[in-house]
Amino acid sequence: MRLPKALRVLILIGAVYTFLLCINLLGSSLQLLGGGFVNQLISTTSNPLVGLFIGILATSLIQSSSVTTSIVVALVGTGSINIVNAIPIIMGANIGTTVTNVLVSLAHITKKREFGRAFSAAVVHDFFNVLSILIFFPLEIYFHIIEKISYFLAQIFEGAGGLKITSPLKIILEPVSNSIEGFLAYSPVMLLVVSLVFLFIALTVLVAMTRSLMSEKTGLFLDKYLFGTAGKSFLLGLSLTAVIQSSSVTTSLVVPLVGAGLLTLRKIYPYLLGANVGTVITAILASLVTGSFLGVQAALAHLTFNLLGICVWYPLRRVPIGLAEGFSSFIKEKRMLAVVYLISGFFLLPILLIILARR
């Protein structure tokens, strides 16, 4: 028996809310488990290569590049680490934040074609960030281009007042999120398990309802009004991330839409780049409040890195998109390798390289 359309819309709204709530709870549980460790990890780095992998690991653990960048900004502002060591951590944070996308794509793993599309949407962000690091990490080590550009920009912003923005998403989610966190505060592991279980349930329902409601009108609306041009797509990603203050949420939202066939990889690519820029705005505004020149410079270094990456990899977008499509075509044939990629790429490999580089 087919459910009435109005009921399916309500179920879809409930699934989206649960999905967002679970991502929020997932981040909270990981921060409870590894927050202190992350702070200590970041504050003890002095090797740029180690800093890069610390950025990946720290952000993968707490699922928020905004939090990692804010910690770095605070530590730079107090003189605990210098800007030279901060920039590689910020670069690594860009990769670590995409772990949520890969996790979300796993909800499609039982359907081969659908999973291939969803996984490509998840990893195209990875390839953009990795390719940007391959170019700008060596340039930063030898020529300090990001440090110099961010220093120039920080001089322009010096003396400017900050602005605090409250995320509407936090207002909607916090009452329920705080209640659940309070109930399970004694066990961060239990909170992690509960959030993961309900995340996958919510995603399954979300995809099913999206597919049942999918029509030509839905596709036309997304194509014409939201993702119709590269400019629209980029501005949507930027503004949505700046308001919500979480690139993990905004980028992972499009993964099931690509999986369901409502959007294509080429349509969402500018949106992901916009989200990369939008996630920095919170850190910049927060750094302006502190009044620390070096803190502002650290936040602007993140913006500089993202903009430089866009300048290279938007004109050459066929490269990251092609790599994502090729990688997902391989992974969808051996789908359990996606789990191996998630665990090794975001956790085991950074840990191993940090240990080796510190010897």
Of 7-11, 62-66, 313-317, the range with the highest mean pLDDT is: 313-317
d(CA 193, CA 135): 38
- pLDDT digits over 163-203, tens only? 555 556 677 888 888 888 888 767 777 888 888 888 888 87
The answer to whether 302 touches 91, Cβ cutoff 8 Å, is no
d(CA 97, CA 101): 8
- pLDDT digits over 100-114, tens only? 899 889 988 888 999
d(CA 203, CA 19): 7
For the ranges 56-65, 70-79, 106-115, 231-240, the lowest mean pLDDT is seen at: 70-79
pTM value is 0.84
Question: Residue 162: which H helix or E strand, with range?
Answer: none
pLDDT for the residue 214: 65
What 8-state DSSP symbol labels residue 203? H
Domain ranges of the chain: 5-357
d(CA 252, CA 200): 13
For the residues 77-86, what does the mean pLDDT come to? Answer: 83
pLDDT for the residue 172: 84
What 8-state DSSP symbol labels residue 106? G
Q: What is the mean pLDDT of the chain?
A: 84
- For 252-269, b where at least 16 C-beta lie within 10 A, e where not — what string? bbbbbbbbbebbbbebbb
Instruction: Label residue 337 by pLDDT band (50, 70, 90).
Output: very high
For the residues 138-164, what does the mean pLDDT come to? Answer: 83
Does the pLDDT of residue 317 top 80, yes or no?
Answer: yes
